[in-house]
Amino acid sequence: MTAPAVAVQRISAPIPWRRYAIGVLYLALAIFVFIVCGLHTLPRTDTTITFNGNNYGALPGLMVPTGVFNTLLAVVLAFIGGAQLANLGRAAWLLGLALFIFVVAFMVWAARGNTLDVVNVAESSLLSSVPIAIGALSGVVCERAGVINIAIEGQMLTAAFISTLMGGLTGNVLVALASGILAGALLGWLLALLSLKYAVDQIIAGFVIDVFATGFTSYLQVSVLEVHPEVNASGQIPNVGLGGLSNVPVAGPLVFGNNAYVYAMVVLVFSIHIALYYTRWGLRARSVGEHPIAAATVGINPIRIRYFNVILGGALAGLAGTFFTLGATGRFDSTMTSGQGFIALVAVILGGWNPIGAFLAALLFGFAVSLQTILGIFNVNIDPNILSMIPYLVTILAVAGIVGRTRPPAADGQPYVQE
């Protein structure tokens, strides 16, 4: 027998390697920005920054010497790196700030000797983020009540298909919109039925719906829409043009002359945020998501709340799906959602299960999606595939702990069995 080992108490705090690693990463980013985006263009190149959108020449542009501007940004990035190393300020804010500065530096560099229109960039990013943001709201509504909705992709795809079919058959955009939302809600109900009544694992139930939707829409696209191409025309919801207001500089095109879906997105984000945190329904839903048994003891019916939220989530995903047809192309294509339902799910997690957080995460992805088209205008010799990877890499870094461990609702994904 050996003598029992004496437990050695760790007296000093563990070295925060992660914090250091991320701080060094920011410093490396600063050096990169300085050398590539700054020094590289130093002799004499200017970037013109304008704020006009479609109102060409409404405001004079801002001439910025590219090299000097980016050198300044590199200094700011270095400061952020220092703040991270010294543990000043919250890591999540620093990450957001660092990312933002890097993106600005990159854009200014990409548009060197050219014109960068901020309003255009903002407008196309907003538009690209619509399906992701509304899809993420669906995820928030479901997961706050404790049901993981991995079926967002399938709900969006089905809604896009049904809205096209109904729009093509009736020629009425509103019928198309309503039927798309209804299709999403129906699949939400199916998810609720499978996971709540028939006790299928939530992730698998959602996966089943995704697979079903892929097969169903692809099959009908080939066997119906390709045979009757005249039906493959959903119509489009017209842009909201608030008269002369859209000619107001900067804010005009952004606020008063946009796609109807952009307004719907903003309204939904804030109304769901308020509903979730300041209403009776929201409190009940969140309590069911955290601890359904406790909620049941105070007289809340967790199953009913979950049914309601999952069906509502399905309807939201359906609305997001109709964006692809009614808000964008006006016709159905079997791969048109291209995994954006899954990106929405990631936006939910990055946004900390909060509608506004999810919206901000969706904006990041929306920006990344629109970046390819934006950079297509400039003469950038970087392969677009490399740029497309960035949001996914950022997501991996984020879930790997830069933003601190995010905490899902406690009962998220847990089945609740009624006694």
Partner 1 sequence: MSESPEQLQAEVAAGNPPQTVTEYRREQSFPVRLLRDLAVPVLALFTGLLVGAIIIGLSAPDFWDHLRHGEVLQAFGTGASLAGNAYYWLFKSAFGSRQAWSETGVQTVPLLFVGLSAAFSFRGGFFNIGAQGQFLFGAMTAVLMANHFAGMPGIIHIPIVLVLGFIGGAVWGSIAGILKARTGANEVITTLMLNYVAIYLVNWLLITPIFQRPGFPNPITSEAVPSALLPALPGYRIHLGVLIVLACAIIIWWILFRTTIGFQLQTVGANAAAATYAGISVAWTYILIMVIAGGLAGMAGTTQLLTTQTSVIPDFAGSYGFDAITVAILGRLHPIGVIFAAFLLGSLRSGAIGMQSATSLPYYIIIVIQAVIIAFMTSPHLIRQIFRVRQAAATGSESFSKGWAA
Q: Which residues bind partner 1 (CB under 8 A)?
A: 18, 148, 194, 197-205, 207-212, 214-216, 218-220, 222-224, 227, 339, 342, 346, 349, 383, 385-386, 388-389, 392-393, 395-396, 399-401, 405, 408, 410, 412-414, 417, 419
Provide, rounded to whole angstroms, the least separation between the CB of residue 17 and partner 1.
Answer: 10
Residue 130 or 368 with smaller CB distance to partner 1? 368
DSSP string, 261-286: HHHHHHHHHHHHHHHHHHSHHHHHHH
Provide, rounded to whole angstroms, the least separation between the CB of residue 149 and partner 1.
Answer: 12
Task: Report the amino acid identity of residue 105.
Answer: A
φ, ψ dihedrals at 156, nearest 5°? -65, -45
Residue 10 or 407 with smaller CB distance to partner 1? 407
Among the listed residues 322, 259, 268, 264, the one whose alpha carbon sits nearest the alpha carbon of residue 123: 259
Among the listed residues 148, 142, 417, 138, the one whose alpha carbon sits nearest the alpha carbon of residue 292: 417
DSSP string, 24-73: HHHHHHHHHIIIIIIGGGTTT-EEEEE--TTSTTSS--EEEEHHHHHHHH
For residue 26 the two structure tokens come to 């920011």
- Count of beta carbons in the 10 Å neighbourhood of residue 319: 30
Provide, rounded to whole angstroms, the least separation between the CB of residue 240 and partner 1.
Answer: 33
Provide, rounded to whole angstroms, the least separation between the CB of residue 307 and partner 1.
Answer: 17
Provide, rounded to whole angstroms, the least separation between the CB of residue 290 and partner 1.
Answer: 12
Residue 41 or 129 with smaller CB distance to partner 1? 129
Residue 262 or 350 with smaller CB distance to partner 1? 350
Q: Decide the pairing of beta strands 115-117 and 46-50.
A: parallel
Residue 219 or 277 with smaller CB distance to partner 1? 219
Provide, rounded to whole angstroms, the least separation between the CB of residue 96 and partner 1.
Answer: 19
Q: Are 349 and 406 in contact (CB under 8 A)?
A: yes
Q: Are 196 and 307 in contact (CB under 8 A)?
A: yes
Residue 278 or 383 with smaller CB distance to partner 1? 383
Residue 89 or 404 with smaller CB distance to partner 1? 404
Q: Are 65 and 90 in contact (CB under 8 A)?
A: no
By residue count, the chain amounts to: 419
Residue 251 or 293 with smaller CB distance to partner 1? 293
Mention every residue, 6+ apart, whose C-beta is less than 8 A from residue 305: 145, 284, 285, 288, 295
Residue 61 or 401 with smaller CB distance to partner 1? 401
Provide, rounded to whole angstroms, the least separation between the CB of residue 46 and partner 1.
Answer: 31
- Compute CA distances 32 → 38, 83, 252, 261, 343, whole Å: 9, 18, 36, 38, 28
Crossing angle of the two packed helices 173-192 and 202-220, in degrees rounded to 10? 140
Provide, rounded to whole angstroms, the least separation between the CB of residue 194 and partner 1.
Answer: 7
Provide, rounded to whole angstroms, the least separation between the CB of residue 139 and partner 1.
Answer: 11
